[in-house]
Amino acid sequence: MFDRPVIARCQLHKIRNVRDKLPDKLRQVVESRMRIAYSAGSELEAKAALLALAGELDKTRPGAAASLREGLEETLTVLRLGVPPTLARTLRSTNAIESMIGICRNHARNVKHWRDGQMELRWCAAGMRHGRGRRPVPPGRVRGRGVRGGCCVILAGDVRQ
């Protein structure tokens, strides 16, 4: 499948971080150009557009340009993987994953003594199962059949506070 871990950064947070380093008159223009770049047909097109934008910002707003370049490759992971458009809309943001982590933490918040890693995994799985009915099914996912296109997201983390 993959010879190394695939890391994806949230495009929405990247846009917000760059936008926050700009004066009000430039925010809307730069945000619009970044959104257009991230919705490009290929990773190469998106990268070229974003690097051109960073080059323009270098002259007047070097902090915003540096923020745009930092982690640029990871923000293009969804395009690089060729994820179907409906699922790509969900994966462009880390909000779905952060929500799932929050559900697991909330479910396990009263556990005071963790015996081992297997217990953590069981509680995490139970939290996801318990929270299953609370969240709508993300676009590109068919309930009960997995993700269309054969993509899989594997999340490992500590559910303890």
Structure tokens at 92: 């462009």
Q: How far is CA 139 from CA 3, 90, 96, in A?
A: 28, 7, 11
Give the domain-ending residue among 81, 105, 132: 81
Residues 58 and 23 in one domain: yes
Which among 24, 54, 81 is the end of a domain? 81
- For residue range 101-142, list pLDDT tens digits in order: 788 888 778 788 888 888 888 888 887 777 666 655 555 554
Euclidean distance between CA atoms 139 and 123, whole angstroms? 27
pTM (global) more than 0.75:
no
Q: Are residues 67 and 100 in the same domain?
A: no
Q: Which domain holds residue 119?
A: 95-150
**pLDDT tens profile 9-22:** 889 999 999 999 99
Residue 73 lies in a domain: yes
Together in a domain, 45 and 105: no
Contact 111, 121 (CB under 8 A): no
